[in-house]
Structure 1
Amino acid sequence: MKSKQKDRRVTPTRPEDERLPIGRSVTYGLQHVLTMYGGIIAVPLIVGTAAGLDPADVAVLIASALFIGGAATVLQSWGVPFFGSQLPLVQGVSFAGVATMLAILAGGGGLPAVFGAVLVAGLIGLVLAPFFAKVIHFFPPVVTGVVITTIGLTLMPVAANWAMGGNASADDYGSLANIGLAALTFVVVLLLSKVGIAAVSRLSILLAIVLGTVVALILGMADFSGVGDGPAVAVPSPFAFGMPTFEVAAIVSMTIVVLVTMTETTADILAVGEIVRTKVDSRRIADGLRADMLSSTVAPVFNSFTQTAFAQNVGLVAITGIKSRFVVSAGGVIMLVLGLLPVLGRVVAAVPTPVLGGAGVVLFGTVAASGIRTLAKVDYEGNMNLVIVASSLAFGMIPIVAPAFYDNFPAWFGTIFHSGISSAAVMAVLLNLVFNVLRAGNAPESSVMVARGARFVRPEHLEALEDGDYFQGGRLIDAGGKEVPIAALDQALDSSADRQS
């Protein structure tokens, strides 16, 4: 009977459907939470401080962000009909809307206006999701490779900032102690990855963060004294900061932000699909975007903001090789618990930022490397793909190397293109349309940047050459300065047959 049951076991047809033991799923899920924790608490910290909230109210925003992020992660990775891409994607508060939310606060609307704008924009995104998903047809490898590479490159400043301490106003920001702690964590990740034990290698990020934190404690660079401050258990209260208000200008601005986050989420879905090596079609993207937008719509009810897929966790999937979406679902459950148990959240928050920076260097670099691997599959011979890649990558790097580049542009333009990911995605899609879809007007070898194939000479051609022969002006000249006729293959064969007869 047991053998029959064993025979009925079905191997998952998709890599992401693999189920691991509960213990391993929770451990790997915790690794995902630690990887994105700094990013998910950054937005409520910034917005809460700008809104003039006291520390207790900021803690409410953080707990709400964790609670909604956890629920959104479970919805995205586990999935229900029409909602969720069923891919190992971690959801959290989008950083793309920070500037817009700060502008709404500066306009006097307060948090209720921010929450009202997020709610309406989320509903608009929910309606647009299936139409937006059709862009899959405009994302061939030359586009997805650019976008994935840009995701990794745009995250590197985040890792560097973490490695320096995370707080630019702190006295020890950029100190050798902070950078040294980050470097130690980085080296530990590499050493553990080298270990011949697969389980240790896959947990290299989590173990390195733990070891880095222990070292920081020994050196007095970690502070867990605040863990006991505040309540141990707290359930997010709906509309804790008052009922939302609706301002037209705020809604329009936030709708643009939602379009940007949908672009980023689409890019992340394509990226993780490439890494997991699973099929991603327009329907799957639509389901993922609907989960994204439903979470964004519900978020303001529980005092949080627009949700999006976290790019840094895409790198974790690539570096660990753990492709199971249920692992990420376990991470979502952990986030839900952290949102309900602020004391546990405070423990995780006490992990020194430089430790996260050291791990982030490997994670984010892995994302960029995955994009480069995709670009290696692109055909560059006799077409303009090299121009598409070069221009799109450069365009995506502009807001990274020069953050103030778009400051004097219209607000809506800056909102879209201030994100390097969105900039690269828009440029790559447009250039692919111009050069690869709308081929009218394209000419062979129309640019000096058109890639050419490798040069080669057949062995039989070399056998026909003699010492002293050389090419000049397209002619073959022998050692005596006389031109050697270049005959077509059939003429050469006829000449050879005549000599033999």
Structure 2
Amino acid sequence: MASPATTSAPSSASERQPVHPVDELLPPPKLLAYGLQHVAAMYAGVVAPPLIVGTAVGLRGAELTLLIGAALLTSGLATLLQTLGVWRIGARLPFVNGISFAGVAPMLAIAKQAHPGQALPTVYGAVLVAGAAAFLAAPWFCKLNRFFPPVVSGTVITLIGLSLLPVAANWAQGGTPGAHGYGSVGNLGLAGFTLAAVLVLNRWLTGFLASIAVLLGLVLGTLVAIPLGRTDFSALGSVPVFAVPSPFHFGAPVFAVGAVISMLIVMLVSMTESTADMLALGEIVERPADERTIEGGLRADGAATVLAAVLNGFAASAFAQNIGLIALTRVRSRYVVAVSGVILVLLGLFPVGGALISVVPQPVLGGAGLALFGTVAASGVRTLARADLGSNGNLLTVAVSLGLGVLPIASPTIWDAFPPLVRTVLDSGISAGCLSAIVLNLFFNHLPGRAAERTLRSGA
């Protein structure tokens, strides 16, 4: 019979094995606080697409509330699928999924061209096919991982941050161009106060409080906004306490060829962005995303998109702003993000809770967003530092790709003369810059003769 010391040795060795921060299960109070912080960072981005599309197709009152609730519910389910995973579905990283903004313009075009009364069913038919295609294509699309060396991934991460800065600027001005007070000194001052609060809290707080500095900054900004009359509590009294979206609430899906093609292109763009986001997140949490991780993440995007189409949501994709939050707080546990997914599900089922979070004024979100999104761009610069920018090819790859990615930000109408299918790609600075970086990296570094040339130069 083995001695007690002998039998207990393997267990002790197992207990000494370090747990990667991504797999660390934090105490419940911290999980809840960090999870709320993620929800606060992404909430406006989740509700904006259904609000825009729903208003465009004529939804009002309870129907519009249902559409927004479905977006929150499906975003939460998608986030749970990404973080916890089922079989080979899910990246199992602190990866937040939400409603892809890339699909808004194409969905508006689909709704405009659909037969009367079939706008949303036509949209959902296209979203359903696009999600299934993404799920099936994931094993092949993930092999693009080898085309994302630091010169490519660093460029894309930088573009993700730069592309999000206009969102923060719009929030800081008030969120709705043309509305009363948009761009006023009061709105910008409130955004500036929130940004200053986040910076001061990061400077002086330590430990757990420092890691939720963004959430605390949002609370302080909202408290300051109340006496200034910049918060609106009216929504709290006009939404139902509990609501469950019924499958295909707006009618059975309609499959129109043009609509399906348009959404397939949107899904291709979303998969490209999700791949870049997973690579960025892998660098930040120090668990590089390999092909299997990317395959699982893309499968989750596809599966969540199919589910969203059934439950009256829209295409699911990565939320880059939450990557910035992880980079800023250094809280890398995927269970934190899973808790944010649970919160989103509850907000979808209890619309009154979502209305409470929506009380946070847009300028307050804008102040915090400037820090979050800027952190993403800074992470990209850090990745580019590992690339050989002494090579003219790499330098031109970064220069041209950043230029193409920033063009839609600097001149939003630059591609308006092109066909809609082309604009779907070019109007997304992240997608345009990502494709440019991949192609130019192949051109400069993978054509026959280039490897030998580099070897000769290094030997000299």
Instruction: Tell whether 2:90 aligns with 1:84.
Output: yes
Alpha-carbon offset, residue 235 of structure 1: 1.1
* 1:244 paired residue number: 253
Deviates more, 1:111-120 or 1:101-110: 101-110
Instruction: Tell whether 2:53 aligns with 1:40.
Output: no
Structure 2: distance between partners of 1:276 and 1:105: 40
Q: Which runs of 5+ in 1 are unaligned?
A: 446-451, 454-501
Structure 2: distance between partners of 1:241 and 1:10: 54
Alpha-carbon offset, residue 443 of structure 1: 10
TM-score w.r.t. length of structure 2: 0.94
Counterpart of 1:231 (choices 208, 215, 240) is: 240
Structure number with bigger Rg: 1
Counterpart of 2:120 (choices 87, 111, 117) is: 111
Structure 2: distance between partners of 1:165 and 1:227: 20
* 2:383 paired residue number: 374
Structure 1: distance between partners of 2:300 and 2:450: 41
Instruction: Tell whether 2:319 aligns with 1:331.
Output: no
> Helix, strand or coil for the counterpart of 1:384?
helix
The structure-2 alpha-carbon separation of the partners of 1:442 and 1:283, relative to structure 1 and needing over 3 Å to count, comes to closer
Structure 1: distance between partners of 2:382 and 2:100: 27
Structure 1: distance between partners of 2:423 and 2:240: 40
* 2:328 paired residue number: 319
Counterpart of 2:412 (choices 393, 403, 409) is: 403
* 1:98 paired residue number: 104
Instruction: Tell whether 2:26 aligns with 1:20.
Output: yes
Instruction: Tell whether 2:307 aligns with 1:307.
Output: no
The structure-2 alpha-carbon separation of the partners of 1:134 and 1:7, relative to structure 1 and needing over 3 Å to count, comes to closer
Structure 2: distance between partners of 1:342 and 1:213: 20
Alpha-carbon offset, residue 29 of structure 1: 0.5
Deviates more, 1:180-189 or 1:431-440: 431-440
> Helix, strand or coil for the counterpart of 2:152?
helix
- Residues 358-396 of structure 1: CA distance to partner in whole angstroms, max 9, x if unpaired? 000000000000000000111123441111111111111
The structure-2 alpha-carbon separation of the partners of 1:153 and 1:356, relative to structure 1 and needing over 3 Å to count, comes to same
Q: 1:265 touches 1:308 (CA, 8 Å); kept in 2?
A: yes
Q: 1:151 touches 1:368 (CA, 8 Å); kept in 2?
A: yes
Alpha-carbon offset, residue 198 of structure 1: 1.6
Alpha-carbon offset, residue 333 of structure 1: 0.2
Alpha-carbon offset, residue 279 of structure 1: 2.5
Alpha-carbon offset, residue 7 of structure 1: 6.4
- Residues 155-210 of structure 1: CA distance to partner in whole angstroms, max 9, x if unpaired? 00000000000000211000011000000000000000001422121101000001
Structure 1: distance between partners of 2:12 and 2:357: 41
Amino acid at match of 2:333: S
Amino acid at match of 1:93: I
Q: Which runs of 5+ in 2 are unaligned?
A: none
TM-score w.r.t. length of structure 1: 0.86
- Residues 284-304 of structure 1: CA distance to partner in whole angstroms, max 9, x if unpaired? 100000000000011011001
Q: 1:12 touches 1:18 (CA, 8 Å); kept in 2?
A: no
- Sequence identity (%): 52
Structure 1: distance between partners of 2:304 and 2:17: 32
Amino acid at match of 2:414: F
Structure 1: distance between partners of 2:221 and 2:209: 16
* 1:70 paired residue number: 76
Q: 1:383 touches 1:444 (CA, 8 Å); kept in 2?
A: no
Structure 1: distance between partners of 2:449 and 2:422: 29
Structure 2: distance between partners of 1:308 and 1:30: 20
Amino acid at match of 1:191: V
Structure 2: distance between partners of 1:69 and 1:382: 42
> Helix, strand or coil for the counterpart of 2:98?
strand
The structure-2 alpha-carbon separation of the partners of 1:442 and 1:140, relative to structure 1 and needing over 3 Å to count, comes to closer
* 1:284 paired residue number: 293
* 1:197 paired residue number: 206
Q: 2:54 touches 2:64 (CA, 8 Å); kept in 1?
A: yes
- Residues 138-157 of structure 1: CA distance to partner in whole angstroms, max 9, x if unpaired? 00000000000000000000
> Helix, strand or coil for the counterpart of 1:92?
strand
The structure-2 alpha-carbon separation of the partners of 1:196 and 1:206, relative to structure 1 and needing over 3 Å to count, comes to closer
- Please list, as runs of the form range in 1=range in 2, the aligned pairs for 1:126-145 lying within 5 A after superposition: 126-145=135-154
Alpha-carbon offset, residue 226 of structure 1: 2.3
Q: 2:110 touches 2:122 (CA, 8 Å); kept in 1?
A: yes
Q: 2:171 touches 2:365 (CA, 8 Å); kept in 1?
A: yes
Cα RMSD for the two superposed structures:
1.9
* 1:52 paired residue number: 58
Counterpart of 1:219 (choices 228, 250, 255) is: 228
Alpha-carbon offset, residue 10 of structure 1: 4.8
- Select the structure that is richer in helix: 2
Count how many residue pairs are aligned between Structure 1 and Structure 2: 446
Q: 2:164 touches 2:321 (CA, 8 Å); kept in 1?
A: yes
Alpha-carbon offset, residue 272 of structure 1: 0.4
